[in-house]
Amino acid sequence: MFNINHKKGVIAILTGGGDVPGLNPAIRAVTIRALREGYQVIGIRRGWRGAISIIRDDKADNSENFQVLTEEIVNRAGRTGGTFLHTSRTNPPKVKKEDVPEHLQDTYNQDRNDLTPEVLKNLAWLGVDYLIPIGGDDTLSYGVRLYREGIKVVAIPKTMDNDVPGTDYCIGFSTCVSRTIELVNRLRTSAGSHERFLVLEVFGRYAGFTAMLPTMAGAANRCVIPEFKFNIEQLTELMVEDRKRNPSKYAVVLVSEGAMFQGGEMVFQTATTDAFGHAKLGGIGDLISAEIKELSAKFNRGKPINVINQRLGYLVRGGDPDAIDSIVPMAYGNLALDLILQGIHGRLVVLKNGRYDNVPLDVVTASKKTVNVDKHYNKERLRPRYANFQMQPLFIMTSE
């Protein structure tokens, strides 16, 4: 067993999946509170990758796999974006042969390998009493697996898509929306100068929240989302009308990366998939740009309208967290510690209807969280539906 001189116990924390602003504030909140309550805190590096790679030998160099956290370490990183623990998309139950850590390759040599037994042994060797994974539904679904294997798990939801079930809010979403609005406002000056369409592709594989909220806030005229397959002629006609009504003669559409044409499917960059079986999305914005330029002549007296096409990508997930993604992670971290101090586990900390709370962890695997199209999306106008805002949550359409 790894020799850590602890008082109450050991808490391990990790970040998995894509980076977002707000991860470091969450790590900081957990660590500072835990240390002051008498716990030791271990940061597992590179998400589940670090958890499968630990060498259970006191003399081994595990600096790439975990580190003991201190107030000095987390205070230095706590105001910054990204995750200083680093991250990966490793899925321990399905590790490819070539991705098995070197010291385990003799034991695990199938095309796909379940390294969960190693994760369990590694956590036991570290003396971990509680595990706090911070991630989206992929990362947290494995947290559910570990909980069923007997690990005491308290999870924190993170994803800029805001699509983890059970919570109105996931770390990273507010900064993503803020960045999207900011970048649209920068690019609209060029669109107006050249009297063009502005097509911006944003994150959102299965859920369209990152396109819907900026559009509702006035950043775009239209948005197309994964939950509703759109008609390209309908979109083009609406965009031409938007441009005509605009004194600066331009129009803006936000395109979720998972959006689909009527009769079509998702557009992928490559056929390869990550450890959770997801192919890399990207390219629907390019296709829409080409189509609306060609079709625009039909609705613009025979004259095609040029397009500025931009994939916002990592620009919306980089940099420092905004105010909400500084405050909510602090609260989530402390909520996790509240549960641990009460001896409660198997829970996901959440925001529901403006209140901090917790729900059973298996909600992550029991359902999907997507935009309620009938309630929040105007299929005829291809934009958010405005209705009664009374008693709605902060981000309007994030409740299930």
Tell me: the pLDDT tens digits for 232-274?
Answer: 999 999 999 999 999 999 999 999 999 999 987 767 555 544 4
Q: In the prediction, which pLDDT does 6 show?
A: 46
Q: Could you give the CA distance from residue 25 to residue 65 in angstroms, rounded to a whole number?
A: 21
Do both 162 and 13 map to the same domain? Answer: yes
Which of these ranges, 173-187, 196-210, 281-295, has the smallest mean pLDDT? 281-295
Q: What is each CA distance from 146 to 91, 285, 326, 389, in whole angstroms?
A: 12, 38, 28, 40
Classify the phi-psi angles of 78: left when phi > 0, otherwise alpha if psi is within -120 to 50, otherwise beta: alpha
Do both 95 and 222 map to the same domain? Answer: no
Mean pLDDT, range 51-79, rounded to an integer: 95
**Helix (H, G, I), strand (E, B), or coil: what is residue 299?**
helix
Do both 97 and 149 map to the same domain? Answer: yes
Query: How sure is the predictor about 400, in pLDDT bands with cuts at 50, 70 and 90?
Result: low
Cβ burial, residue 52 (10 Å; 0-12/13-18/19+): buried
pLDDT in tens, 303-325: 999 999 999 999 999 999 999 99
Do both 298 and 327 map to the same domain? Answer: no
Domain annotation covers residue 85: yes
Which structure tokens are listed for 242?
């938007």
Q: How many domains does the chain have?
A: 2
Range(s) of the domain holding residue 79: 9-171+321-366
Do both 133 and 238 map to the same domain? Answer: no
Do both 190 and 291 map to the same domain? Answer: yes
Domain annotation covers residue 389: no
CA 369 from chain center: how many Å?
Answer: 13
% residues pLDDT > 90 (the chain) = 86
Q: Could you give the CA distance from residue 262 to residue 17 in angstroms, rounded to a whole number?
A: 30
Half-sphere exposure of 30 (CA within 13 A, CB side): 31
Q: What is each CA distance from 32 to 27, 28, 333, in whole angstroms?
A: 9, 6, 10
End-to-end Cα distance, the chain: 43
Domain annotation covers residue 391: no
Q: In the prediction, which pLDDT does 261 show?
A: 93
Of 129, 137, 161, 168, catalytic:
161
Q: In the prediction, which pLDDT does 265 show?
A: 76
Q: Could you give the CA distance from residue 294 to residue 258 in angstroms, rounded to a whole number?
A: 22
CATH number for the domain spanning 231: value is: 3.40.50.460
Domain annotation covers residue 217: yes
Known catalytic residue at 322: no
